[in-house]
Amino acid sequence: MTPIMRKKAALISVFHKDGLKPIVEQLSALNFDIYSTGGTEKFIRDLGIDVIPVEDLTAYPSILGGRVKTLHPKVFGGILSRRDNEKDLEQLDAYEIPQIDVVIVDLYPFEKTVESGANEQDIIEKIDIGGISLIRAAAKNFKDVLCISARNQYEDFLKVLVAQKGVFTLEQRKIYATKAFAISSHYDTAIYNYLNTTETNFRQSFNKVSPLRYGENPHQKGYFYGDLESLFDKLHGKELSYNNLLDVDAAVNLIGEFKNDKPTFAILKHNNACGLAQRDTLHQAYIDALAGDPTSAFGGVLISNKTIDEATAQEIHKLFCEVVIAPSYDENALNILKGKKNRIILVQKIFFLSKPSYRTALNGVLFQDKNLKTDARSDLKTVSILKPTEKQIEDLLFASKICKHTKSNTIVLAKNKQLCASGTGQTSRVDALNQAIVKAKHFNFDLQNAVMASDAFFPFPDCVEIAQQAGINAVIQPGGSIKDKLSIDYCNSHKISMVFTGTRHFKH
């Protein structure tokens, strides 16, 4: 057979066409043969640029409703052939297979289709087969082939294409191959997680990454993997730090407990609420939340379940705080809050957060269902002779919500839907309670008729005894200790009402 002339060629098969036009024009100007199929072929042809249908190369039409277009030896042979391997080149000549030097693919939008709520059949049809195969083949042969695997790479690729006139270095091809396998693995992970209902294999992947100034401390590197823009609109301020993000996560989870309630304001520091109150106006809710611990509020993260108005913004502006989060802001309020150039102002667009929870541990990952259980009236079982009043029930459920989102061991003291104090992250429940009482008294809270919430059961009656001596007369806890009766007996002999929920809320 007559040897085929070695002319540069590109294969283009993309879902999204935006940004493709200047690349195609440049490839044509550099005398690349351009192969394509389906909608991409039509797009290129409509630009007035010569394009070779893949069907002409393979002598097979697109079949099975478009499911099979590029899956053919004449396509993959041209991509996978090794340019320094004589036998490979001989086979290219023997079977009249052109070398393909550039592969440009933009995969079917599988994740977007899932997010749209489409039916299963439509979702399955958006599992790309040919595209993902082209990506893997081109990336594998990065020694000879450059692979563009997503439209967000178009702009950078065009600059390289123009500057280097279609000649690419090995380093560049390897970098793009790395990106391609990242795209491929992420795509497969999304499909696995969509289909999986029975397997326990851990698969998570994030395409978006944001470098942070540093990690938890200045000597540690830090990155955030995820799509913050889907949750927040950032209106003002510096970039979120690693510690900011941890506090924002805690704040969003906490305020989610009150999303449909009356105006509620929370102030957090080191992932724990140091102030929280619910009132008829947001302004008063903020004032009373700040009263919970004005010292810890310095440099904290503030979050509201309602629109921040001008009066509330004026009060907030008096405090140095890192982040303010709300579903919206009045125009005057926003102008006030922007008065501090570094203050981060976020609009929370949705309350949704991922349901699974996972973290690194030792040489692996701990995975669990997210704690989505919120104690409700229907969960309460009165175990004392004295039943809680309606007002006490409201305060007990209020305190329980805060307790659920506070580091264990924890005790939360509340009164009139205001956080009086909490003991956080203590090695004993008694220590947590004593810490809360001391703190409440330090900030001049009257604990007479306050309520107490505990994240776990009391193994001994010491906590209810200490609480009663401080003036607390209603308790909410999970129950479940073999010595529950000791605490119940103390409550009965000292006219304290106590309810069990049956649900522990450890948070570590």
Active site residues: 140, 270
Three-state DSSP state, 52? strand
Burial zone of 215 (CB within 10 Å; 0-12 exposed, 13-18 middle, 19+ buried): middle
The dihedrals phi and psi of 138, each to the nearest 5 degrees, come to -65, -40
The DSSP annotation for 75-101 comes to HHHHHH--TT-HHHHHHHHHTT-----
Identify the residue whose tokens are 């939008």: 109
CA neighbor of 136 nearest in space, from 167, 97, 182? 182
The dihedrals phi and psi of 329, each to the nearest 5 degrees, come to -140, 140
Contact 210, 224 (CB under 8 A): yes
d(CA 439, CA 153): 54
Please give the distance of CA 103 from its chain centroid, rounded to a whole number. 32
Q: Which residues pair with 365 in a beta bridge?
A: 360
Please give the distance of CA 243 from its chain centroid, rounded to a whole number. 15
The enclosing H or E element of 34 equals strand 33-36
CA neighbor of 415 nearest in space, from 440, 435, 387, 381? 440
Side-chain-side CA neighbours of residue 452 (13 Å): 36
CA neighbor of 474 nearest in space, from 373, 374, 379, 390? 390
CA neighbor of 188 nearest in space, from 111, 97, 293, 255? 111
d(CA 382, CA 477): 11
Q: Which residues pair with 474 in a beta bridge?
A: 451, 497
Using alpha carbons only, what angle is made at residue 407 by residues 419 and 357, rounded to the nearest 5 degrees? 120
Q: Which residues pair with 451 in a beta bridge?
A: 414, 474
Q: 238: which 2 tokens?
A: 């510096």
Contact 124, 99 (CB under 8 A): no
Q: 389: which 2 tokens?
A: 């009043």
Contact 309, 451 (CB under 8 A): no
Angle, helices 154-164/21-29, rounded to nearest 10 degrees? 20
Altogether, the residues listed in the chain come to a count of 508
CA dihedral over 270, 419, 425, 377, signed as positive or negative: negative
The DSSP annotation for 357-416 comes to EEEEETTEEEEEE-------GGG-EE-SSSPPPHHHHHHHHHHHHHHHTSPSS-EEEESS
Q: How many CB atoms lie within 10 A of CB 121?
A: 7
Three-state DSSP state, 334? helix
